[in-house]
């Protein structure tokens, strides 16, 4: 158990819909990262938040957005969903920034039908 | 942007054989991290290498960071069935703007 929690574990929704994935980092960790993992693309970095502020941005689509709240939990919002958005979405946290090891949550499996 | 290439994509070995995965970055890295993901699981941090030419060992696992800090390798001696999974390298080039860049991973399949 990494100490990072993610909800829900599974999500099935239709194309065009909007979903919200939630992540609670390990106690004391200030940075939260979001990743998308699909079979053909590996682990893709989406976005990082540090202490409530956006810190780094990766291959995140404009239809996706995220935020980190004062209690440090984070939400990833995915809208206008397409079939290709079906993937595992991982949240990870670290003490501070990118040079520190990251602790991954169990992931949310999103299926878009 | 920064790219991290990892080879091979898949590796089949007999139990007891050695295994090596290689990681190459398009840019010089500040550090490189290695993660392991078991089937159906999430990535788990293994180690971080920071210094040029650094070599670190964890039991049967040996990690190396190249002199130019652009490549790295993970070598497992005498594989066991518990080593099954996908091994990812992840490079950080500093500056923070791009985050950690993961390689696509090497899937280790062990035949008993």
What does the angle CA A90 – CA A35 – CA A89 come to, to the nearest 5 degrees?
40
**pLDDT at residue A40 above 90?**
no
**pLDDT at residue B96 above 60?**
no
Which of A58, A99, A104 minimises the CB distance to B30? Answer: A99
DSSP A8-44: -SEEEE-TT--EEEEEEPPTT--EEEEEEEETTTEEE
CA distance B85 to chain A (A): 14
**pLDDT at residue A12 above 90?**
yes
Token representation of residue B46: 């293994």
Residue (of B46, B45, B67, B44) closest to B55 by Cα position? B67
**Please, what is the average pLDDT of chain B?**
93
Higher model confidence: residue B36 or residue A1? B36
For residue B68, is it left (φ>0), alpha (ψ between -120 and 50) or beta?
Answer: alpha
Cα B107 to the center of its chain, rounded Å:
11
Q: Which residue of A has its CA nearest to B106?
A: A42
Cβ atoms B45, B33 nearer than 8 A: yes
Strands A103-104 and A108-112, by their bridges, are unpaired
Cβ atoms B66, B53 nearer than 8 A: yes
Is there a contact between A48 and B99 if contact means CB atoms under 8 Å apart? yes
Which residues from chain B sit within 8 angstroms of residue A33, using beta carbons? 99-100
pLDDT score, position B8? 97
**pLDDT at residue B1 above 80?**
no
What are B26-75's pLDDT values in tens digits? 999 999 999 999 999 999 999 999 999 999 999 999 999 999 999 999 99
Which residues from chain A sit within 8 angstroms of residue B31, using beta carbons? 99
Which of B33, B96, B98 minimises the CB distance to A101? Answer: B33
Per-residue exposure over A32-56, b if at least 16 CB sit within 10 Å of its own CB, e if not:
bbbbbbeeeebbbbbbbbbeeeebb
Which residues from chain B sit within 8 angstroms of residue A47, using beta carbons? 99
Cα B70 to the center of its chain, rounded Å:
13
């Amino acid at each position: 158990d990494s100490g990072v929690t993610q909800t829900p574990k599974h999500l099935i929704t239709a194309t065009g819909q909007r979903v919200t994935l939630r992540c609670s980092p390990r106690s004391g960790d200030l940075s939260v990262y979001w990743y998308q993992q699909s079979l053909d693309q590996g682990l893709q970095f989406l976005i990082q938040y540090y202490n409530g502020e956006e810190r780094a941005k990766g291959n995140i689509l404009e239809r996706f957005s995220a935020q980190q709240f004062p209690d440090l939990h984070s939400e990833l919002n995915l809208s206008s969903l397409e079939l290709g958005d079906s993937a595992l979405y991982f949240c990870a946290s670290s003490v501070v920034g990118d040079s520190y090891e990251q602790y991954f949550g169990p992931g949310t499996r999103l299926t878009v039908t | 942007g920064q790219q991290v290439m990892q080879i091979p994509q898949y590796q089949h070995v007999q139990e007891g054989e050695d295994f090596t995965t290689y990681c190459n970055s398009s840019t010089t890295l500040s550090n490189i991290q290695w993660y392991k993901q078991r089937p159906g699981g999430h990535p788990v941090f293994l180690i971080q290498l920071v210094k040029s030419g650094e070599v670190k060992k964890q039991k049967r696992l040996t990690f190396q960071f190249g002199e130019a800090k652009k490549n790295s390798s993970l070598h497992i001696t005498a594989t066991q069935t518990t080593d099954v999974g996908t091994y990812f390298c992840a490079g950080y080039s500093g500056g923070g703007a791009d985050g950690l860049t993961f390689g696509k991973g090497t899937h280790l399949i062990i035949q008993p």
